[in-house]
Amino acid sequence: MSHDLLTRHPSLLGQVQQVARPVAEFQCREWSTFNRGAIEYKGAHDLVTYVDRTSEEMLVSGLSALLPEAGFLTEEGTIETIIRPLMWVVDPLDGTTNFTHGLPFFSISIALLCEGTPLLGMVWEPIRGERFTAAAGQGCALNDQPVRVSPTCELDQALLATGFPYEEYSRVDDYLPVFRRMVTESRGIRRLGSAAIDLAYVACGRFDGYFEYNLSPWDVAAGVLLVNEAGGRVTDFQGGNNSIFGQQIIASNPLLHPQILSRLGPLR
């Protein structure tokens, strides 16, 4: 089904980008004038804004027209989750906290899954004007130029990315010794606040590796395909393939992956 779909819709990835373009422009406009008084809360530290919801509505409308047979899994729930063999998985604004504080690190993340496997992926940073795209078997690109994961082969030469929990704190005591080990054995760790961007930066070689837990499918579905198509490796903390729905992820080049995996002991 996956190969047939891409064959029948060879321009689908380009069409997805056209759906996302006005959303990126909308977010740029709103970011420059956003009033923090418009923040709402889904949880104690889980923010949402009218920009998230409007962006999602725009994306759902456009994507529905491209593939009427596909279901949806979206962060803001502006459309009922409908489980079908083909599923759009959408995070309309990954990095809402950054957005509301005037930081430019936020993104639009769109993936198309076929029976749980990503076929198309796009992560778009509106402020930086960077658009990461991938289709299964066709490689990964940044603004239409091919990109690859880094060639770094030793952890002490690697720049890593991670994320910190903001709602689920039960595993903080397990996470902190892992963080300590990673930060002392690597070249450094960055925390950008958008899992989709972290994965895109692994795909293009800016980050050598990334690990995080307590994630949702819309955070990572597009980025998983980007990294895989850029020659990288993506797994859960056990080294398995449940990185999209398993709430945990490691992404890196193939040489570093076992080194990162071996240091996650308390989190497994």
Q: Encoding tokens for residue 109?
A: 């993340």
Q: Residue 260 — pLDDT band, cuts 50, 70, 90?
A: very high
- DSSP per-residue codes, 182-229: HHHHSSEEE--S-HHHHHHHHHTTSSSEEEEES--HHHHHHHHHHHHH
State the chain's mean pLDDT as an integer.
Answer: 92
Chain segment 80-121, per-residue pLDDT in tens? 888 899 999 999 999 999 999 999 999 999 999 999 999 999
Is the pLDDT score of 45 beyond 70? no
Chain segment 209-225, per-residue pLDDT in tens? 999 998 999 999 999 99
Q: Encoding tokens for residue 96?
A: 């809402």
Contact present, 147 and 203 (Cβ < 8 Å): yes
Chain segment 222-243, per-residue pLDDT in tens? 999 999 999 999 999 999 999 9
Architecture of the domain defined by 2-146: 2-Layer Sandwich (3.30)
Q: Residue 56 — pLDDT band, cuts 50, 70, 90?
A: very high
Q: What are the phi and psi torsion angles at 143 (to 5°)?
A: 50, 45
**What residues does each domain of the chain span?**
2-146, 155-267
The residue type of 28 is: C
Is the pLDDT score of 267 beyond 60? yes
Count of CB atoms within 10 A of residue 138's CB? 13
How far is 249 from 1, CA to CA, in rounded Å? 26
Is the pLDDT score of 157 beyond 80? yes
Reported as half-sphere exposure (CB side, CA atoms, 13 A), residue 176 has a value of: 5
Q: Which pLDDT score is estimated for 230?
A: 98
Helix intervals (H) in the chain:
2-8, 12-33, 50-66, 96-100, 172-185, 195-203, 217-229, 257-261
Is the pLDDT score of 40 beyond 60? yes
User: Average pLDDT in the 162-185 region?
Assistant: 83
Give this prediction's pTM. 0.94
Is the pLDDT score of 204 beyond 70? yes
Q: Is 155-267 the same fold as 2-146?
A: no
Q: Does domain 155-267 have CATH number 3.40.630.10?
A: no
Q: Which pLDDT score is estimated for 36?
A: 82
Pick the closest to residue 100 from 167, 37, 189 (CA basis): 37
Q: Which pLDDT score is estimated for 1?
A: 55
Reported as half-sphere exposure (CB side, CA atoms, 13 A), residue 20 has a value of: 26
Is the pLDDT score of 47 beyond 60? yes
